[in-house]
Amino acid sequence: MFVGHFAIAFLLWRLFPQVPLPVVLIAVSFPDLLWSLLVPAGVEKVRINPDSPLQKFIVFEKFPYSHSLVLGSVWSLPVGLLIAGLLNTRLVVPVFVAGSASHWLLDTVVHLKDLPVLGFDGDRKVGAGLWKRGPVAFVVEYAFYAIVTLFALSGLSLVYALILGGVFHAINFPSFFGSMRKNSVKSSNGYAGLALLGFGSFTLIASLII
Ligand SMILES: [Zn+2]
């Protein structure tokens, strides 16, 4: 999931306006940001299908540190503490951890059964697998993004957020519908780099315009 995560960031910002927007945007992206560093480091493993860009064919072989509910939340704690210390706002800690945990929760809707709960070998894995129905997943994710954002933002911020989410979601089109060409991403490191670029650029642009 991509844009859907950012709707929760807007919601957290609405509920806790003392926490700056870039912080909640980073919080909801945290598992994927961590993952995009752990894949090239060889700690976590993903296998892409060179013949298809569809999400359902991506095999997340191992990502217990970034994408387990418990271990992932444990990692988000020191980062939340660090940002809270820098900003001198204690509220950042629970909001950051909640934002990061929301990422896991939303990922369980779309991922195939590959998301660990605790984060150790032999762990139970969950995932409702909405990605198996690409076009449905495409509509559901943007509808979720739009509805939550409608509730969280207003005025020009709302308009900008809906357009920004729409543009990024449209860029993801081939991963839901397939494409005529083969997968343009050729390696797991390339896929991790793309995730870093996607989450990083959305966070940057949203921080500037919303
Ligand atoms: Zn994720």
Mean pLDDT of 120-128: 89
Measured in Å, residue 69 CA sits from the centre of ligand 1 at 11
Tokens of 27: 């919080």
* Cα–Cα distance for residue pair 176/137, rounded to 1 Å: 7
Q: How high is the mean pLDDT of the chain?
A: 96
12 has pLDDT over 90: yes
What domain range is 130 assigned to? Answer: 3-209
Inter-CA distances, 63 with 70, 145, 196, Å: 12, 25, 16
Q: Is the pLDDT of residue 59 over 90?
A: yes
Flag the least confident range among 3-12, 76-85, 170-179: 170-179
C-alpha 106 – ligand 1 centre gap (Å)? 8
Ligand 1 centroid–CA 15 distance in Å is 23
Per-residue pLDDT of 13-40, as tens digits, reads 999 999 999 999 999 999 999 999 999 9
Residue 155 Ramachandran class (φ > 0 left, ψ -120 to 50 alpha, else beta) = left
- Quick one: pLDDT at residue 184? 85
Q: If you measure from the C-alpha of residue 206 to the centroid of ligand 1, how many angstroms do you get, rounded to a whole number? A: 19
Can you tell me the mean pLDDT for 67-90? 97
Q: 85: CA distance to ligand 1 center in Å?
A: 26
CB of 110 within 8 A of CB of 141? yes
Per residue in 190-210, pLDDT (tens digit) is 999 999 999 999 999 999 999
- For 74, residues 6+ apart whose C-beta sits below 8 A from its C-beta are none
Considering its fold, how many domains does the chain have in total? 1
Can you give the pTM of this predicted structure?
A: 0.96
11 closest CA partner among 126, 154, 132: 154
pLDDT of residue 150 exceeding 90, the answer is yes
